[in-house]
């Protein structure tokens, strides 16, 4: 914890965890919705890419300091 | 008894006398060694039975491997398996079937479960006993439940048809739940709701019990009506718990296999063929191992992404 | 409280009664399918599929007899020529123009379920207790990530996991063996065990161990003599959760076992009589399968909430 708070002094304010984590969460949710929606085959086709991107992003941003 | 109380006095003495860091390394293995000694076996088991197979799946997903022909030449097909899954209308249809199942079963469970939790939270006499009775279905084996509901859904002779007939006045032979194209998707929703409403109820009940009484007292001072109290106190306080239940049930139902496999096994036609059943057919009936590995990876990543959100909500609830 | 209008106690009492009535009605409706299955186990095959369904049928143990035996159909002349039946089982079977050919596989599958259930539970709880203590008390690098990784293994779709496990077990010769199933269920249960037990161990004050360490105990001795006894309830509850999971599991069992190591869930649906499923026998098997779960649920009721939220929500 102490290492993390030390880092946060230099850490840019734009990269706080909360908003980025929410964005990644929204991306994963959107991807899951695209995977299962009944409207467009194209959206379905891109759903996996969106979920993969969202999940990868979540893994990264959840290590940002608060 | 005496042991605990002597421990208490010991604890007090120790707390007063020594900082914990000194206490931790008096003798024997160092803490670091103990930590690794304790955690490593678990990690090794999970690496062997989860991570190694996962890497194997990812590798296979780029090939045309077939498990029933292990000696056939292996060909690397790149992303072909993924592109064919993600452009296949049949798989898309299976995902929509899954969506119908997930959305409706969870909607019904939230409405029923939250309602029941509000009622049980009034703590009438005997609420403990009845809560335990209500909780029973969720502890049963989904496979065995799916199997015995086929008996209750038997055309003509099934108990379910006769109960519906008794309540609605229709002829018990005029409909069949699992043989009918329009009713079968609702049959799996119904059984899942019967089984998992208690799950949502139990978590909502925990949420209701976490609301401090003084919030309601303050609302009473403000002369807030019951509707207002529900909307501005109960719902926001229970919401994180509700999210927890919805996410977990969502993940579980997204990958639902056992109950549906025994209740309808995807039929009639493919009207109840949820994602896991399609995957089973591709992997263990058609033996298209490479193709089904790619499908498995897609499901893996989706569940993994949702699990991230679940743990985020879980940690939020834990801190309260 | 001063400015508020208190709800009259009479109205409050009536509301409580209405709530109780609604909850009891739901409980009875939810119990109905289970009771119906239990009762079907005590019906004769014709009664079990009667039209309209028989609410009250003459009780019969035919379902249980059919569950535990295999029978062969014979001509009435053959049966008349047999020596007199010994015992009620023989008489019951012969009244259907059949003779007992031998025991069914139900007993063996039941034993499989017990062996695999207890084997995997003991292993998962043993490894889980150690890991949970490690995560609870020590600074572990990447602790949150490791814990998340452990939990995520439980979330994975079983069919997706089964594809590589199937290939792996086939090349290792572990398909349809007790050892293979025990290892697999241990791996699935260990995530629950670690999370649940970490919650229980977190609640034991660290001061106890620190006092023991001051007293000259080693870390291991303090763990064994101080932490384990304090965590006993938690360990027992965790063990029951693991046991229930292994007992109920179907997807891995149906894909990876077929005979030797088959457990009950894939076996029960395929108890076949003449002309389709033998429903009283299936219902009898289901009843025997459910009894332990009902007992465990009653024992566990105070810990259920923890169990279904991986130890995060306590009360």
Cα(B42)–Cα(B48) distance, rounded to whole angstroms? 10
Domain edges within chain B? 83-318
Contact A17, C144 (CB under 8 A): no
| Superfamily of B83-318 according to CATH | MetI-like (1.10.3720.10)
Does the beta-carbon distance from C20 to B124 stay under 8 Å? Answer: yes
Closest residue in chain B to residue C230, using alpha carbons only: B4
Both structure tokens of B151: 């008996």
Tell me whether residue A66 is in a domain.
no
Both structure tokens of C156: 């994975």
Question: Residue A49: which domain range?
Answer: 2-61
| DSSP summary character for residue B74 | P
User: Considering only CA atoms, which of B270, B283, B277 is closest in space to residue B254?
Assistant: B277
Which pLDDT score, from 0 to 100, does residue B319 have?
58
Cα(B315)–Cα(C312) distance, rounded to whole angstroms? 8
In B, which residues are within 8 Å of C2 by CB distance? 221
* Nearest CB to A52 within list B87, B301, B306: B301
What is the helix (H) or strand (E) element at residue A34, kind and residue range? Answer: helix A17-36
pTM: 0.88
Which pLDDT score, from 0 to 100, does residue B38 have?
92
Contact B130, C24 (CB under 8 A): yes
User: Considering only CA atoms, which of C260, C269, C242 is closest in space to residue C184?
Assistant: C242
C81: confidence class by pLDDT, cuts 50, 70, 90: confident
Q: Which chains sit next to A, with 3 or more Cβ pairs under 8 A?
A: B
Does the beta-carbon distance from C160 to B279 stay under 8 Å? Answer: yes
Tell me whether residue A46 is in a domain.
yes
Which pLDDT score, from 0 to 100, does residue C93 have?
83
C286: confidence class by pLDDT, cuts 50, 70, 90: very high
In B, which residues are within 8 Å of C23 by CB distance? 116, 119-120, 124, 127, 130, 134
* Nearest CB to A41 within list B89, B102, B309: B89
In B, which residues are within 8 Å of A38 by CB distance? 96, 99
Question: Does B19 score more than 70 pLDDT?
Answer: no
Polymer length in residues for chain A:
66
B-C interface: how many C-beta pairs under 8 angstroms?
347
Cα(B294)–Cα(B301) distance, rounded to whole angstroms? 11
For C260, other C-beta atoms within 10 Å of its C-beta total 12
Does the beta-carbon distance from B11 to C205 stay under 8 Å? Answer: yes
C133: confidence class by pLDDT, cuts 50, 70, 90: very high
pLDDT in tens, C162-212: 999 999 999 999 989 999 999 999 999 999 999 999 999 999 999 888 898
Which pLDDT score, from 0 to 100, does residue B48 have?
92
In B, which residues are within 8 Å of A41 by CB distance? 87, 89, 92
Question: Does C28 score more than 90 pLDDT?
Answer: yes
Question: What average pLDDT does range B45-57 have in this prediction?
Answer: 92
In B, which residues are within 8 Å of C51 by CB distance? 156-157
Contact B140, C290 (CB under 8 A): yes
Contact B15, C212 (CB under 8 A): no
Both structure tokens of B215: 């919030």
Does the beta-carbon distance from C214 to B156 stay under 8 Å? Answer: no
Closest residue in chain C to residue B53, using alpha carbons only: C164
Q: Please tell me whether residue B264 adopts helix, strand or coil conformation.
A: coil
Closest residue in chain B to residue C285, using alpha carbons only: B144
Question: What average pLDDT does range B205-216 have in this prediction?
Answer: 88
Share of chain B above pLDDT 70, in %: 91
* Nearest CB to B130 within list C23, C210, C223: C23
Mark out chain B residues that contact chain A at CB-CB < 8 A.
82, 86-87, 89, 92, 95-96, 98-99, 102, 298, 301-302, 304-306, 308-309, 312
In B, which residues are within 8 Å of C148 by CB distance? 307-308, 311
In A, which residues are within 8 Å of B102 by CB distance? 36
Closest residue in chain B to residue C192, using alpha carbons only: B42
Closest residue in chain C to residue B151, using alpha carbons only: C279
Does the beta-carbon distance from B305 to A32 stay under 8 Å? Answer: yes
Phi, psi of C183 (to 5 degrees): -60, -45
Which pLDDT score, from 0 to 100, does residue A2 have?
42
User: Considering only CA atoms, which of C247, C231, C237 is closest in space to residue C300?
Assistant: C237
| DSSP summary character for residue B285 | I
Question: Does B17 score more than 80 pLDDT?
Answer: no
B244: confidence class by pLDDT, cuts 50, 70, 90: very high
Nearest-neighbour CA in chain C from B182: distance (Å): 23
Question: Does B110 score more than 70 pLDDT?
Answer: yes
User: Considering only CA atoms, which of C241, C19, C25, A20 is closest in space to residue B124?
Assistant: C19
Indicate the average pLDDT of chain B.
Answer: 87
Share of chain B above pLDDT 90, in %: 56
Cα(C181)–Cα(C252) distance, rounded to whole angstroms? 8
Question: Does C5 score more than 60 pLDDT?
Answer: no
Nearest-neighbour CA in chain B from A54: distance (Å): 7
Question: Does C225 score more than 60 pLDDT?
Answer: yes
Which of residues 186 through 225 in chain C touch B, CB cutoff 8 A? 186-187, 190-191, 194, 205-208, 210-221, 223
The neighbouring-strand residues paired with A57 are none
Burial class of residue B316 (count of CB atoms within 10 Å of its CB; 0-12, 13-18, 19+):
middle
Nearest-neighbour CA in chain C from B169: distance (Å): 15
pLDDT in tens, C35-77: 999 999 998 888 888 878 888 888 888 889 888 988 888 888 8
C1: confidence class by pLDDT, cuts 50, 70, 90: very low
Closest residue in chain C to residue B172, using alpha carbons only: C52
pLDDT in tens, C105-130: 899 999 999 999 999 999 999 999 99
b/e map A10-34, b = 16+ CB within 10 Å: ebeeeeeeeebbeebbebbbebbeb
CATH code for the structural domain at C107-270: 1.10.3720.10
In B, which residues are within 8 Å of A37 by CB distance? 96, 99
A-B interface: how many C-beta pairs under 8 angstroms?
56
Question: What average pLDDT does range A12-38 have in this prediction?
Answer: 90
Which pLDDT score, from 0 to 100, does residue B3 have?
47
Does the beta-carbon distance from B99 to A38 stay under 8 Å? Answer: yes
Question: What average pLDDT does range C147-152 have in this prediction?
Answer: 92
Indicate the average pLDDT of chain C.
Answer: 88
* Nearest CB to B11 within list C157, C161, C207: C207
B99: confidence class by pLDDT, cuts 50, 70, 90: very high
SS (H, E, C) chain C: CCCCCCCCHHHHHHHHHHHHHHHHHHHHHHHHHHHHHHHHCCCCHHHHCCCCCCCCCCCCCHHHHHHHEEEEECCHHHHHHCCCCCHHHHHHHHCCCEEEEEECCHHHHHHHHHHHHHHHHHHHHHHHHHHHHHHHHCCCCCHHHHHHHHHHHHHCCHHHHHHHHHHHHHHHCCCCCHHHHHHHHHHHHHHHHHHHHHHHHHCCCHHHHHHHHHCCCCHHHHHHHHHHHHCHHHHHHHHHHHHHHHHHCCHHHHHHCCCCCCCHHHHHHHCEECCEECHHHHHHHHHHHHHHHHHHHHHHCCCHHHHHCCCCCCC
Tell whether A58 lies on the interface with B, counting CB pairs under 8 A: yes
Tell whether C169 lies on the interface with B, counting CB pairs under 8 A: no
Cα(C114)–Cα(B83) distance, rounded to whole angstroms? 44
Does the beta-carbon distance from B28 to C134 stay under 8 Å? Answer: no
Question: What average pLDDT does range A4-31 have in this prediction?
Answer: 81
Question: What average pLDDT does range C128-137 have in this prediction?
Answer: 94
Q: Please tell me whether residue B146 adopts helix, strand or coil conformation.
A: helix
Residue among B144, B245, B319 with most chain C CBs within 10 A, to mutate: B144
For C300, other C-beta atoms within 10 Å of its C-beta total 19
How many distinct structural domains can be found in chain A?
1
Pairing status of strand C69-73 against strand C98-103: antiparallel
pLDDT in tens, B111-170: 999 999 999 998 888 888 899 999 999 999 999 999 999 999 988 888 898 898 888 888
CB-based contacts of C141, cutoff 8 Å, min separation 6: none
């Amino acid at each position: 914890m102490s290492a993390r708070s030390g880092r946060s002094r230099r850490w840019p304010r734009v990269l706080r965890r909360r908003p980025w984590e929410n964005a990644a969460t929204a991306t994963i949710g959107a991807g899951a919705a695209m995977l299962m929606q009944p409207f467009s085959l194209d959206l379905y086709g891109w759903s996996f890419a969106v979920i993969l991107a969202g999940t990868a992003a979540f893994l990264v941003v959840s290590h940002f300091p608060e | 008894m005496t042991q605990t109380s002597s421990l208490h006095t010991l604890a007090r003495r120790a707390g007063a006398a020594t900082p914990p860091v000194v206490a931790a390394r008096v003798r024997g293995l160092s803490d670091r060694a103990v930590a690794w000694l304790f955690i490593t076996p678990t990690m090794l088991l999970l690496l062997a039975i989860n991570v190694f197979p996962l890497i194997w799946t990812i590798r296979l997903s780029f090939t045309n491997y077939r498990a029933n022909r292990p000696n056939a030449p292996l060909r690397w097909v790149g992303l072909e398996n993924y592109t064919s899954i993600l452009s296949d209308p049949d798989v898309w249809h299976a995902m929509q079937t899954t969506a119908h199942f997930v959305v409706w079963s969870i909607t019904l469970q939230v409405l029923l479960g939250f309602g029941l939790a509000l009622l049980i939270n009034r703590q009438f006499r005997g609420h403990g006993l009845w809560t335990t009775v209500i909780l029973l279905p969720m502890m049963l084996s989904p496979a065995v439940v799916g199997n015995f509901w086929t008996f209750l859904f038997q055309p003509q002779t099934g108990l379910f048809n006769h109960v519906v007939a008794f309540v609605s006045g229709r002829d018990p032979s005029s409909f069949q739940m699992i043989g009918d194209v329009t009713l079968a998707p609702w049959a799996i929703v119904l059984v899942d709701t019967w089984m998992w409403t208690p799950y949502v109820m139990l978590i909502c009940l925990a949420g209701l019990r976490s609301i401090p009484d003084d919030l309601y007292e303050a609302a009473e001072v403000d002369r807030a009506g019951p509707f207002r109290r529900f909307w501005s106190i109960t719902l926001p306080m229970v919401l994180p718990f509700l999210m927890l239940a919805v996410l977990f049930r969502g993940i579980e139902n997204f990958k639902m296999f056992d109950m549906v496999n025994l209740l309808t096994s995807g039929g009639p036609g493919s009207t109840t063929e949820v994602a896991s059943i399609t995957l089973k057919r591709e992997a263990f009936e058609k033996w298209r191992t490479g193709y089904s590995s790619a499908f498995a990876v897609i499901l893996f990543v989706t569940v993994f992404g949702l699990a991230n959100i679940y743990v985020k909500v879980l940690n939020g609830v834990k801190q309260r | 409280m001063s400015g508020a209008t208190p709800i009259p106690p009479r109205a409050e009492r009536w509301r409580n009664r209405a709530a109780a009535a609604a909850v009891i009605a739901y409980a009875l409706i939810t119990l109905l399918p289970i009771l119906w299955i239990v009762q079907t186990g005590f019906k004769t095959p014709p009664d079990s599929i009667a039209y309209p369904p028989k609410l009250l049928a003459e009780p019969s143990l035919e379902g249980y007899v059919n569950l535990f035996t295999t029978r062969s159909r014979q001509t009435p002349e053959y049966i008349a020529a047999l020596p007199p039946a010994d015992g009620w089982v023989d008489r019951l079977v012969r009244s259907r123009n059949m003779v007992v050919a031998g025991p069914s596989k139900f007993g063996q599958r039941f034993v499989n379920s017990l062996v695999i259930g207890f084997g995997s539970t003991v292993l998962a709880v043993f490894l889980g207790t150690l890991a949970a203590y490690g995560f609870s008390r020590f600074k572990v690098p990447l602790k949150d990530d490791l814990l998340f990784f452990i939990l995520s293994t439980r979330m994975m779709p079983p069919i997706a996991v089964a594809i590589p496990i199937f290939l792996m077990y086939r090349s290792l010769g572990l398909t349809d063996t007790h050892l293979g199933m025990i290892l697999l269920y241990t791996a699935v249960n260990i995530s629950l065990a670690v999370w649940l037990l970490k919650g229980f161990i977190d609640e034991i004050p660290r001061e106890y161990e620190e006092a023991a360490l001051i007293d000259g105990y080693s870390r291991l001795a303090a763990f064994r003599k101080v932490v384990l006894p304090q965590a006993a309830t938690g360990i027992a509850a965790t063990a029951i959760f693991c046991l229930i999971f292994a007992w109920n599991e179907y997807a891995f069992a149906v894909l990876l076992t077929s005979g030797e190591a088959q457990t009950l869930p894939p076996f029960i649906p395929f108890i076949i009589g003449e002309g389709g499923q033998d429903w009283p026998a299936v219902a009898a098997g289901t009843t025997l399968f459910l009894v332990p779960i009902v007992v465990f649920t009653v024992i566990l009721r105070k810990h259920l909430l923890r169990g279904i939220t991986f130890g995060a929500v306590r009360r």
